[in-house]
Structure 1
Amino acid sequence: MQTPRDFLCPISLAVMEMPVILIEDGRSYEKRQIERWLSTNNTSPMTGKVLINKSFILNINLKNAIEEFREKQEKAQHCELLSRELVIKPGGLPEEFQDKKHPRLRIKICTLGDRSVGPDMIALHLDGLFQERYAVSITVVDLPGNMRYNNVWTDQYRCHGAIFVCDVSQPETLKDVIDGWYPKFKQHRSTGCQSVLLCHKIDLSEDPEDQIFKDAEQFAMENDISLFHTSAVTEKNIQAMFNQLVLCILASRSLLDQLKNNGSNTITDGQNRRESVQLRPPVRKPKKETGCC
């Protein structure tokens, strides 16, 4: 997770723990840093203007926002650490996972956004992450990348995990997620459903100053959604994103109980399986040229 600039002390450039507002210049600083500065200076660290009043007050709103950010950051780091233990293997489950000693969990994940991602199925073998050992089958369902179909696919919103995708080269796709896909998902989603937001195609643009990244960060924080910058070309963060989403699903007690109690979902072993989850745009076939003989 990228740290918002407002959370950094202008003096130390570190995340603030006790942010205070210097009344005369209206800027926030780490309390210890501004006290040290004012002990030897009579000017503002930011503007350089002479201070008549050196008073400061606690910025309680910023302090609460930073604490909330730290909690989410620790959660993301914890999931990233655990995700390194996941082993994803294609194809059918090995014999050791096909008996009753290792419960078969079937997870459904939907992708939502103005693009097309082909449905995939993979076998996920988990060992050592939880008290029990599970064999997990995962189906990724791609919904039509057009909001005019959203009422037709309401049943598909009732999944265990959702991947919201925006194209960083097309800022309007994030607006569609914020104003269209996500509200519809919240309206119809299952209890405990986990979700992530992808800023996709970062191989085309990954300038942190681009507005789409700032807007995505703000939306993710407001809705407690993990944010990933991904690329199908370089495969950056694809595996980490998928692993974290699966871990969050299995870490949700309500979802895990539901998965263990529901042995038969709509997912079947007869579906086609692919080697990995591929977040790629559809391949457009060239139009055939026509002419007279």
Structure 2
Amino acid sequence: CRRLFRLLLAMAASSASTSAVPPSFVCPLTLEIMRDPATAADGHSYERKDIEKWLRTSDLSPLTGEPLPHKQLTRSHALRNAIEEFQAGQRDRAKEEQRRQARMPAAHSGVKVILLGDSNVGKTSLLHRVKEGSFSESAQPTIGCSF
């Protein structure tokens, strides 16, 4: 059971999105990022409400299976601060990505191109190739504008 649990924890840590979530930020009971981390007597940190629920029915460490010398929990202020900083950075990166994408022209926006040049050099053929992905070997003279 412990091996399966550790495997699931490793899978959750490795399947994190864009910026990998540090494994120490993930509660081993819920496999979610902790909001209120607390350290148990086994030295491991857990989401407070979930380790409290565990301790109501068990005297064993959920990770090691060893008996816990006591059921007192210690607030993990430094870990909570690190998690909050990480999440703030994630939000900042997401906002910057949204701003970057907003500045980029949409793929469906119209693009107007004017090609000037001598006659019979392939201006219209070039436009057809870009616009439609086709190219015609036979050139037909175009008089005036070509759309």
TM-score, normalization: structure 2?
0.56
Match of 2:93 in 1: 76
Instruction: Choose the corresponding residue for 2:84, options 67, 73, 78.
Output: 67
**Whose relative contact order is higher, 1 or 2, with alpha carbons under 8 Å and at least 6 apart?**
1
Match of 1:15 in 2: 33
Q: Counterpart of 1:73 in 2: which secondary structure?
A: helix
CA distance in 2: counterparts of 1:10 and 1:77, whole angstroms: 26
Name the structure with the higher strand share.
1
The alpha-carbon deviation at position 29 of structure 1 amounts to 0.6
Deviations 1:30-69 (A, max 9, x none): 1011011111111101100122311111011111111111
Q: Does 1:27 align with 2:69?
A: no
CA distance in 1: counterparts of 2:69 and 2:102, whole angstroms: 57
Percent of residue pairs identical: 37
Match of 1:247 in 2: none
Aligned length: 88
TM-score, normalization: structure 1?
0.29
CA distance in 2: counterparts of 1:82 and 1:33, whole angstroms: 37
Deviations 1:187-225 (A, max 9, x none): xxxxxxxxxxxxxxxxxxxxxxxxxxxxxxxxxxxxxxx
Structure 1 residue runs of 4 or more that deviate by more than 6 Å after TM superposition? none
The alpha-carbon deviation at position 87 of structure 1 amounts to 2.2
Give runs of aligned pairs for residues 128-143 of structure 1, distance below 5 A: none
Deviations 1:119-155 (A, max 9, x none): xxxxxxxxxxxxxxxxxxxxxxxxxxxxxxxxxxxxx
Where structure 1 has 5 or more consecutive residues not aligned to the other structure, the ranges are: 89-293
Name the structure with the higher helix share.
2
Q: Over aligned residue pairs, what C-alpha RMSD do you find? A: 1.6
Q: Counterpart of 1:20 in 2: which secondary structure?
A: strand
